[in-house]
Amino acid sequence: MKENIVMSSLVLLVAVLLVLVLVLVVALLIDLAHRYPKAATPMLIGLGGMTVVVPIVVR
């Protein structure tokens, strides 16, 4: 039973860290879009492309 508790704690820790990293990346992209408005559109196109390509590559 203790292994399950330890494993679920580890999974929870990894999930929380991933969420924090995601929030930091989104905040960085928002900051970049505000500083460089002309770069916002290419960034969105790149993110959209990555959103399509990454699941295909991972699969």
pLDDT of residue 39: 86
Mean pLDDT of 8-35: 91
Render pLDDT for 25-59 as a digit per residue (tens, 0 to 9): 989 988 988 999 898 899 889 989 999 998 899 88
More confident residue, 16 or 6: 16
Which range marks the domain in which residue 45 is found?
Answer: 2-58
pLDDT confidence of residue 14: 92
Angle at 21 between CA 15 and CA 22, to 5 degrees: 90
- Tally of structural domains, the chain: 1
Cβ pair 43, 29 in contact under 8 A: yes
